[in-house]
């Protein structure tokens, strides 16, 4: 059986499937075949018992370290035994023929909706408990004992409805042959992490979870966005060969890894590194790059029960700054919201999270969290060459407001006698409004970095997470290149450094155009560095300018694609 999706990170894999279900899993509406009602009901009762037992185990282990948390599990056990729910689910299965997973999902959903609308915040908060219990029941329903992807024991192809950045970030990458998801956009943070780990990934695979079975053999051709289940022997053999070709090409690119990125006519292009976690794996690339072009600090905050305090942040930032010595480290302040959520804070659900209280806006509305981070960043700046950058800047007011907060933190630290070093202050240009005001912005800041992922999302009005609108999310939209040219020219005119740190910067096809538009600093995930350097070394600036000129004359993304060489004309 062949399934199709969109290739989000290139590569080939052949292996066994691990079906990953998790919190937030969304079953499809489905019904039990005639005569199988009782077996679905029995399975629900068994799952309920298992869930109760799992909570008991958690409760006992937690009682020693954190008795308050143990109470949460008692509350969850009570929800599992809730009388109304336990009348409703069996009734839906037996009388209305709802499949067990659908019945669990829907019955809990009804309760959740009522709770969420409650005026009393304490009652509304209970919704999260019901949500957690539902996720637990569904996970067990699908036979998944292990909640996390960090505890995989052998290399597998991971199939999931959707993955959160916290799932991917905690992934043991040596155990992930490939990632397959039903949802998720190509510049979602999951896709970005997958690319930076070099894991072949196909997203938007319709019907994936209905089709795959735990342990099934599969072939993944992420270059073509194709998944073949139970391949014939010859097909598996053919893909093993393709895998070898892919590996050879990767090895060829690897020969450029430690070289400088110097164009064929001698122009040095700076390569920055995009990092999320402060792990040795991520930092290992420091020898092959010129800077950290984007430190996504939000990954220090996600997937944990408490916020990182000032000291913890200082030690993380210090580690990166020291590793990079005199080379710049662009530390981006907390960019939470959108597809990156905090489990340590119960944030209100938003209708349009990417247009909501995200990133800098979130920081403005949570001044304590923001100030703690700025304090930590400033105090860590004594250990290296820190450049502080604000995400999601929409106006000159945003910049001024953020700078005022920096000034007040400086004053605070001075009063406390806590030292801080020299640092630059800059912004991400990822909202079209600020791109159009680049002239004014350049006078307010020391540098800028173009966030092409969000710039494309906001310019094309296409949700980067939603694979259904992926055809509208056009990284090669001519307007993208027009804006990039404007931003680059303005910052150059003002004598201020400008770089690009979105996924476009690591696309070997787009790189010539970016250089031609004037960019001399590209920042990317570690797995993209070698191929980007290969693309840069085989190019002259003159050629790149010619390509850029042609791109600027295009009226459609398709034409741009053709010029960049993705379509052989």
Which of 165, 184, 451, 518 is close enough to bind Mg ion by CB under 5 A? 451
**What's the token pair of residue 458?**
């906001």
Kind of pairing, strands 6-9 and 201-203? antiparallel
H/E segment holding residue 414 = helix 396-416
Cβ count near 341 (within 10 Å) = 20
Region near Mg ion per CB under 5 A, out of 143-151, 314-322, 444-452, 542-550: 444-452
Q: Which does 463 bind (CB under 5 to 8 A by kind): ligand PEP, Mg ion, none?
A: none
Q: How far is the CB of 272 from ligand PEP (least distance, A)?
A: 11
Which of 296, 323, 375, 561 is close enough to bind ligand PEP by CB under 6 A? 296
Q: Which does 77 bind (CB under 5 to 8 A by kind): Mg ion, ligand PEP, none?
A: none
Compose the 187-226 pattern: x for residues touching ligand PEP by CB under 6 A, - for all others.
Answer: -----x----------------------------------
**What's the token pair of residue 39?**
């077996």
Give, as ranges, the residues between 445 and 464 that touch ligand PEP (CB under 6 A): 451-454
Which of 378, 386, 435, 501 is close enough to bind ligand PEP by CB under 6 A? 501
Q: How far is the CB of 78 from Mg ion (least distance, A)?
A: 41
Residue keyed to tokens 């945003």: 398
- Is residue 454 involved in binding Mg ion (CB under 5 A)? yes
Q: Which does 290 bind (CB under 5 to 8 A by kind): Mg ion, ligand PEP, none?
A: none
Is 189 catalytic? The answer is yes
- Is residue 54 involved in binding ligand PEP (CB under 6 A)? no
- Is residue 477 involved in binding ligand PEP (CB under 6 A)? no
- 454: which residues sit within 8 A by CB, 6+ positions away? 354, 392, 428, 430, 431, 464, 502
Instruction: Rank residues 77 and 187 by Cβ distance to ligand PEP and give the closer one.
Output: 187
**What's the token pair of residue 203?**
């997203």
Catalytic, out of 40, 189, 363, 460: 189
Residue keyed to tokens 């905050």: 301
DSSP for 470-501, written as a single string: GGG--TT-HHHHHHHHHHHHHHHHTT--EEE-
DSSP for 327-370, written as a single string: SEEEEE----BTTB--TTS-PPP-SSGGGSS-HHHHHHH-HHHH
Which of 294, 363, 522, 531 is close enough to bind ligand PEP by CB under 6 A? 294
Is 65 catalytic? The answer is no
Compose the 203-242 pattern: x for residues touching Mg ion by CB under 5 A, - for all others.
Answer: ----------------------------------------
Q: List helix spans (H) across 184-338.
A: 189-197, 208-211, 233-254, 280-283, 310-324
Give the bridge partners for 273, in sequence order: 292, 524
In whole angstroms, give the CA distance from residue 412 to residue 375: 9
Contacts to ligand PEP by CB under 6 A: 192, 294, 296, 335, 430, 451-454, 501-502
Catalytic residue list: 189, 501
């Amino acid at each position: 059986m062949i399934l199709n999706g969109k290739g989000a990170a290139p590569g080939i894999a052949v292996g066994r499937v691990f079906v990953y279900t998790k919190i937030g899993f969304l079953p499809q509406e489905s019904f039990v075949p005639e005569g199988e009602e009782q077996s679905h009901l029995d399975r629900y009762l068994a799952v309920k018992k298992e869930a109760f037992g799992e909570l008991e185990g958690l409760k006992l282990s937690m009682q020693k370290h954190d008795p308050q948390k143990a109470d949460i599990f008692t509350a969850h056990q009570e929800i599992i035994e809730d009388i109304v729910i336990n009348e409703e689910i069996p009734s839906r299965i037996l009388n209305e023929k709802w499949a067990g997973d659908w019945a669990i999902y829907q019955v809990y959903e009804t309760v959740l909706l009522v709770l969420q609308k409650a005026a009393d915040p304490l009652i509304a908060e209970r919704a999260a408990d019901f949500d957690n219990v539902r996720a637990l029941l569904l996970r067990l329903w699908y036979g998944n004992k292990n909640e996390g992807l960090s505890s995989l024991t052998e290399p597998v192809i991971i199939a999931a409805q959707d993955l959160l950045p916290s799932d991917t970030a905690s992934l043991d990458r040596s155990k992930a042959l490939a990632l397959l998801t039903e949802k998720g956009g190509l510049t979602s943070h999951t896709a970005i992490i997958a690319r930076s780990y070099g894991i072949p990934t196909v997203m938007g695979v319709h019907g994936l979870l209905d089709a795959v079975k735990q342990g099934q053999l599969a072939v993944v051709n992420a270059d073509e966005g194709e998944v073949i289940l139970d391949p014939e022997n010859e097909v598996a053999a053919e893909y093993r060969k393709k895998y070898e070709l892919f590996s050879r090409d990767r090895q060829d690119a690897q020969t450029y890894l430690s070289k400088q990125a110097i164009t064929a006519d001698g122009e040095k292009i700076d390569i920055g590194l995009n990092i999320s976690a402060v792990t040795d794996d991520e930092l290992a690339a420091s020898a092959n790059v010129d800077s950290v072009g984007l430190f996504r600090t939000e990954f220090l905050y996600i997937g944990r029960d408490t916020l990182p305090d000032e000291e913890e942040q200082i030690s993380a930032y210090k580690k990166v700054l020291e590793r990079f010595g005199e080379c710049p480290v662009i530390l981006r302040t907390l960019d939470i919201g959108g597809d990156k959520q905090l489990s340590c804070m119960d944030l209100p659900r938003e209708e349009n999270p990417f247009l909501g209280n995200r990133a800098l806006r979130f920081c403005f509305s949570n001044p304590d969290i923001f100030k703690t981070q700025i304090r930590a960043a400033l105090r860590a700046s004594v250990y290296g060459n820190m450049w502080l950058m604000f995400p999601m800047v929409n106006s000159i007011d945003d910049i001024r407001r953020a700078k005022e907060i920096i000034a007040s933190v400086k004053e605070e630290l001075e009063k406390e006698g806590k030292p801080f070093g020299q640092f630059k202050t800059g912004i991400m240009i990822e909202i079209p409004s600020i791109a159009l005001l680049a002239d004014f912005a350049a006078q307010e800041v020391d540098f800028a970095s173009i966030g092409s992922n969000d710039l494309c999302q906001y310019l094309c009005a296409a949700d980067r997470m939603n694979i259904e609108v992926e055809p509208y999310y056009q990284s090669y939209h001519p307007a993208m290149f027009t804006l990039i040219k404007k931003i680059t020219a303005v910052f150059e005119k003002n004598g201020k450094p400008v770089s690009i740190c979105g996924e476009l910067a690591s696309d070997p096809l787009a790189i010539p155009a970016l250089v031609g538009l004037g960019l001399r600093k590209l920042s990317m995930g570690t797995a993209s560095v070698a191929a980007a350097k290969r693309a840069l070394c085989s190019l002259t600036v003159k050629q790149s300018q010619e390509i850029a000129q042609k791109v600027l004359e295009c009226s459609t993304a398709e034409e741009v694609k053709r010029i960049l060489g993705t379509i052989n004309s």
